[in-house]
Amino acid sequence: MAQRYKMTLAYDGTRYAGWQVQPGEKTVQGELEFALEELTGESPRVQGSGRTDAGVHARAQVVHFELLGPKDPGRLTLGLNAVLDRDIRVDKVRRASASFDARRSATGKQYRYLIWNGPIVPPNLRLYRTHVSRPLDLDAMKESAGMLLGTNDFSAFTANPNRHVPSTCRTLRRMEVRGNGKEVTLIAESEGFLYKMVRSLAGFLIRVGRGEVSSVETEEILKSKTRTARVPTAPPEGLWLWNVFYSKRIRLPAVNR
């Protein structure tokens, strides 16, 4: 009988054409499926909690997959890390119930958008931060973030509002702006995000921080439900899938883990 597994992993998205398998492209999902096949002889589909775009990183992506042959989770972790390139690292594999679904069972996700706000980016951070050289007005950004918080129609903050989505309403349960020296961190948490929503929020907040858009325009832009030049898509390298949340109920009792 098939056994389902829940796996947590981190990746550096620099070398990948994003999460999702695409013909002729190197993708994170593709690399994981290839490694599982090499390790087990089976060809399971690896289902992620969601896609990430090319160049976007994950601190803790969560996936599920099924294997027919019994495998020890600890050995799977070691085996996958031996087969995978070092820019994808498996943090943990555990057995999951057949009802666990990395995407559908998730109760929320946290993304962080990391900005280096100084004249030069330290070379070792150049692929993991978005560079904004002039000082950002964090107070204006915080004010704007406060207006984005909560339930809104985020049509003005998605890259392709014409896609067939049942609703463009989402609830941002966290939208924070934090400054620590030259590091500026945007934290966005929601049960679900629209396509390129976090990079749109980041692109907008950076414009506010630069003084190019006033924070008071935030509500007006939300109400307009229309994407305009005031909301650019921020570059991928600053974006990190930071955490995926699940309710405790979906896990197996401790004795079966």
Report the interface residues with a copy of itself, using CB under 8 A. 10-12, 57, 59, 81, 86-91, 120-124, 126-128
Could you tell me the CA-to-CA distances from 203 to 69, 86, 128, 223, 228 in Å, in that order? 46, 30, 16, 18, 12
Cross-strand bridge partners of residue 199: none
Residue 190 DSSP label: E
Residues 6+ apart with CB under 8 A from 31: 16, 84, 85, 88
Whole-number minimum distance, CB 125 to a copy of itself, in Å? 8
From the CB of 204, what's the least distance to a copy of itself, in Å? 25
**Cα 200 to the center of its chain, rounded Å:** 13
Which one, 189 or 237, has the nearer CB to a copy of itself? Answer: 237
Cβ at position 12, least distance to a copy of itself in Å: 4
Helices 217-224, 138-148: inter-axial angle, 10-degree rounding: 40
Are 206 and 135 within 8 A, CB to CB?
no
C-alpha closest to that of 242 among 185, 169, 203: 185
Question: Do the beta carbons of residue 7 and residue 65 sit within 8 Å?
Answer: yes
Residue 85 annotated to the active site: no
To a copy of itself, the closest distance from the beta carbon of 8 in angstroms equals 11
Nearer to a copy of itself, 33 or 87 (CB): 87
Q: Read off φ and ψ for residue 52, nearest 5 degrees.
A: -125, 145
Question: Two tokens at 45?
Answer: 């589909």
In the bound complex, what is the minimum distance in angstroms from residue 5's beta carbon to a copy of itself? Answer: 17
In contact, 247 and 100? CB cutoff 8 Å: no
Nearer to a copy of itself, 58 or 198 (CB): 58
20 vs 81 by CB, closer to a copy of itself: 81
Distance of CA 51 to the CA centre of its chain: 8
Residue closer to a copy of itself (CB basis): 118 or 161: 118
Catalytic site residues?
Answer: 53
